[in-house]
Amino acid sequence: MELLCIILLSLSIPFAIGDLQVGFYNSSCPQAESEVLSVVSKHFATDHSVTAAFLRMYFHDCFVRGCDASILIAPTKKKKTERSAGPNLTVRGFEIIDEVKANLEAQCPSTVSCADIIALATRDAVALAGGPNYDIPTGRRDGLVSNPKDVRLPGPSLTVSGAFQFFSAKGFTLEEMVILLGSHTVGVAHCVFFRDRLGNFQGTGAPDPSMDPSLKAKLTRICGPRPKPLKKDPTAFLDQNTSFVVDNQYYNQLLVNKGVMQIDQELASDSSTASVVSGLASDEAGFLQKFADALVKLGNVEVLMGTGGNIRKKCTAFT
């Protein structure tokens, strides 16, 4: 019944948001959105972490050259791509996008863009994890450039003001930044991204005093005494309570000093964002609606439309 409801809601009457349009493929490939949902649902059934994977892929794609699927281009021995950049080495879910694309190419050749598949897959994965089921406009086209040097993303140790420089450059308000960081309601972080908080915070030789002692002890057990190569580096859930559910528990944990990464915890302590965090922590329905709105806005960042870019036949290559 839940799957049927998601399908029915996605087949709403087309309407425009910006220059993109909900239901863009209703005539050219009417099964496009249901095909995406079918594949994502299959993978979610055996691996609930796909929600975090797609949220991360969506963000990393849209924040670099806009939502143009440039993150999907596979590197070769001779040419590196965005996937080669450090922040993207742990991005996952490419094989699911490839599966959707192959199915759609068999049914509607050269019609559905890879950029739209990312946006739709993210929407469906969020809904399957208990989050909002929202209309996402489509009509994006795929980019023709994928350069690792273009990958500049906000890091986990930034201050609130430092992180906001990245978000404001893409047209987001401070509140919307806090809401989008609510994506940390699902997913994990490698120990390398927060290890300094456990014993040598900002070079002090001591732990971050703002971290809850019980969380510090737990993370120390997970991470071990020494750093490890990224592929072997342990991970910890960013939401220690409801790790696979899209809800507002992430914000409630920040209020009791249980944010895993520095930027997370600073949202609750910085005077410019503390009230936003407390408001979202006390209003789950409000967060879910605002989260949906922010994800839709994210999908409108610097998109290619009309004759811009192309529609790839394979998401991993420009052709």
What Cα–Cα distance (Å) separates residue 317 from each residue in 3, 13, 34, 147, 221? Answer: 32, 33, 24, 13, 42
Could you confirm whether 48 is annotated as catalytic? no
Give the whole-angstrom CA distance, residue 116 versus residue 120. Answer: 6
Are 3 and 33 spatial neighbours (Cβ–Cβ below 8 Å)?
Answer: no
Among 43, 48, 60, 190, the active-site one is 60
Give the whole-angstrom CA distance, residue 219 versus residue 126. Answer: 26
Are 32 and 117 spatial neighbours (Cβ–Cβ below 8 Å)?
Answer: no
> Residues annotated in the binding site for substrate, as ranges?
154
> Residues annotated in the binding site, as ranges?
61, 64, 66, 68, 70, 82, 154, 184-185, 239, 242, 247
Phi, psi of 54 (to 5 degrees): -75, -35
> Residues annotated in the binding site for heme b, as ranges?
184
> Residues annotated in the binding site for Ca(2+), as ranges?
61, 64, 66, 68, 70, 82, 185, 239, 242, 247
Give the whole-angstrom CA distance, residue 24 versus residue 39. Answer: 20
Q: Mind telling me the catalytic residues?
A: 60
